[in-house]
Structure 1
Amino acid sequence: MGGDLPEYFFRVRENGAMVFRVDTQNQQRRIDMDQIAVANVKNGEIKANGDRKLTEDDIEEISAWMEERRAVLMDRDIDDILRTVDHLNLTAQWAQSKAEPEQLEEITDTLLLAMHDLRSVLVRKKADRLLKDK
């Protein structure tokens, strides 16, 4: 089992991860995890834990994980947006074919305001991109 484990373990948190060094080379033949750093994906900061000094290998591994994590999070964002498009389509179908008047009354204003806000942002951003391309 010891040879199969990675050298580092990243405990994901909201803005990055706590970074642990995995050690299986001890007398009890058990897995020890020693926290060595905290990584912040949003600002790219890597903070060593306590008085610890990170090696170049540590920093390279953590930086590589952060880059990979950013890519995963960006992919998830796009997937979430595409799911939102699906939900909007399903909502339109529900409103047209299944919704009771009381249900429509309950959600219409909130949904219209959210859609108006989204449309305003998208139109503004599209105009900005078009003006930039000229």
Structure 2
Amino acid sequence: MTAELPRYYFRVRDNGAFVFRVETENRQRRIEMDQIAVVNIRNGDIKPHGGRTLSPEDKDEIARWMAERTELLAQRDIDDIYRAVDYLNTTAHWAQSKATDAQLDEVTDALLLAMHDLRSVLVRKKSDRLMGKVGKD
């Protein structure tokens, strides 16, 4: 464990975090966490907690965390998509080499509909991108 704790702690939640200021400078040398704000990554809201006024340092640290968190979540989204590609490949191999007729009967319709939906979205989006590039030339 490091000797010095960070000045802020962010308790992550679905759309952002609860922000706490970490205090260790007290008589008992205990760690105290004082909630100072609630942040929402999706809409960028920063709401001070309990009638507080956030200092410029508080705002800067929250903005830095929000930018880092947004980047991390975007990286995770792409990683999830690459993992989905791997699952599709694994599923194709399973269907070709290991699946029983009963197993295929159970999953084929759901897989075909999901793949059709995905293909439709991807083709439409690619077409939109290509048409946008043609219009800009």
TM-score range, shorter chain: over 0.9
> TM-score, normalised to structure 2's length?
0.96
Once the two structures are aligned, what percentage of the paired residues are identical? 64
Aligned to 1:69: 69
Aligned to 1:49: 49
- Compare 15-24 and 3-12 and name the one that shifted more: 3-12
Aligned residues: 134
Aligned to 1:95: 95
Aligned to 2:115: 115
Q: Which runs of 5+ in 2 are unaligned?
A: none
CA deviation vs aligned residue, 1:79-111 (integer Å, no higher than 9, x gap)? 000000000000000000000000000000001
> TM-score, normalised to structure 1's length?
0.98
Q: CA RMSD in A?
A: 1.1
TM-fit CA distance, 1:15: 0.3
TM-fit CA distance, 1:41: 0.6
TM-fit CA distance, 1:3: 5.1
TM-fit CA distance, 1:43: 0.7
Distance in structure 2 (CA, Å) of the matches to 1:86 and 1:132: 30
TM-fit CA distance, 1:2: 8.6
Q: Which runs of 5+ in 1 are unaligned?
A: none
Distance in structure 1 (CA, Å) of the matches to 2:2 and 2:114: 52
TM-fit CA distance, 1:50: 1.4
Aligned to 1:60: 60
| 1:63 counterpart letter in structure 2 | A
Distance in structure 2 (CA, Å) of the matches to 1:124 and 1:4: 52
| 1:128 counterpart letter in structure 2 | D
Distance in structure 1 (CA, Å) of the matches to 2:98 and 2:28: 63
* Secondary structure at the counterpart of residue 4 of structure 1: coil
Distance in structure 2 (CA, Å) of the matches to 1:96 and 1:125: 30
